[in-house]
Amino acid sequence: MEILLQTLINGLLAAGVYALVASGLALAVGVVGIVNFAHGEFLMIGAFVSYFLFTAQGLDPLISLGAAALAAFAVGAISYYGLIRPVLAAPELNQMLLTFGLSIALQNLALLLFGADTRVVSPPYQGSTVSLLGLSFGLVPFASFVLSVALLSGLYWFLGRTRLGFAVRAVAQNRLAPGLLGIETQRVYLLAFGLSAALAGVAGVMLSVMLYASPTIGFAYTLKAFAIIVMAGLGNLRGVIPAAVVLAMAEAFVSTYVPGGGGWVEAVFFLVIFVSLTYRSWRFR
């Protein structure tokens, strides 16, 4: 019973970061209409920012969050201006190939610059635990979860309550009409893509403490984020949170209850993608 409860909590805590990464990807897909294979690389940038600020300046990851978000936003905005904008009207195949190329380039650039080692950010509180209702869990995963929830609430507030948020949603619904109504479509795209990258960058900081920073860390999260948004329906922001919970719970259960489950966790997201797609292909025949 206690193991079950612990598994449920582990799953729920992991869902926070998943939802953060996947919401960013859902913004890129839903608003800009770009299937961004380089999303995880923005996360990787955030993780490395956190690592280098910590080792060089001794900055706490909590402070690095802002720097990582800015750095990822900048890289996202530059990528949008230089690479995405020219192919917005191109066939979908070209768009996907372009972001895939960006992902490969960034990942291997990091490999060239920093090497393949995994680097952990270990602030003094890394190992501390929190006890709540007789259950104990790590402080860092718990704090990351709370932070993720706060950031996602902020995102929903922005999209649901502010004028700029309305503009973002308008552009997501129709590519032409908002421009005719005086919304600067290009700026909204830029904002959405930068925001998408920033969300991934923040998640990267959390992962640099919970897991590690490495050139290939982003890739696994690109795949998991895709699994989540495929389950939610591409570009559907609302479905992301329940989908993230489902994926994280499934992974937690596999790692606890499947014998030798550690390695199989990496296969769960595929099952999720496959089941969602098969379901869709039978429903929309």
Contact 121, 209 (CB under 8 A): yes
Task: For residues 106 and 117, give the distance between their C-alpha atoms in angstroms, rounded to a whole number.
Answer: 16
Distance of closest approach, residue 137 Cβ to another protein, in angstroms: 27
- Binding of another protein by 161 (CB under 8 A): no
Contact stretch for another protein (CB under 8 A) within 45-53, 64-72, 121-129, 260-268: 260-268
- Binding of another protein by 176 (CB under 8 A): no
Distance of closest approach, residue 136 Cβ to another protein, in angstroms: 31
Task: Kindly report the backbone phi and psi dihedral angles of residue 119, in degrees, each rounded to the nearest multiple of 5, phi listed first.
Answer: -120, 130
- Binding of another protein by 81 (CB under 8 A): no
- Binding of another protein by 250 (CB under 8 A): no
- Give me the sign of the Cα torsion angle 8, 9, 13, 14: negative
Task: For residues 150 and 258, give the distance between their C-alpha atoms in angstroms, rounded to a whole number.
Answer: 33
What is the residue whose two structure tokens read 């206690």?
Answer: 2
From candidates 88, 211, 234, 250, binder to another protein by CB under 8 A: 234
Question: Which residues have a Cβ under 8 Å from the Cβ of 266 and sit 6 or more positions away?
Answer: 220
Query: What DSSP string runs through 12-33?
Result: HHHHHHHHHHHHHHHHIIIII-
- Binding of another protein by 226 (CB under 8 A): yes
- Binding of another protein by 227 (CB under 8 A): yes
Contact 49, 16 (CB under 8 A): no
Site string for another protein, 23-52 (x = CB under 8 A): ------------x-x---------------
- Which residues contact another protein (rule: CB under 8 A)? 35, 37, 83, 86-87, 90-94, 96-98, 100-109, 111-112, 116, 219, 223, 226-227, 230, 234, 260, 263-264, 266-267, 269-270, 273-274, 277-278, 280-281, 284-285
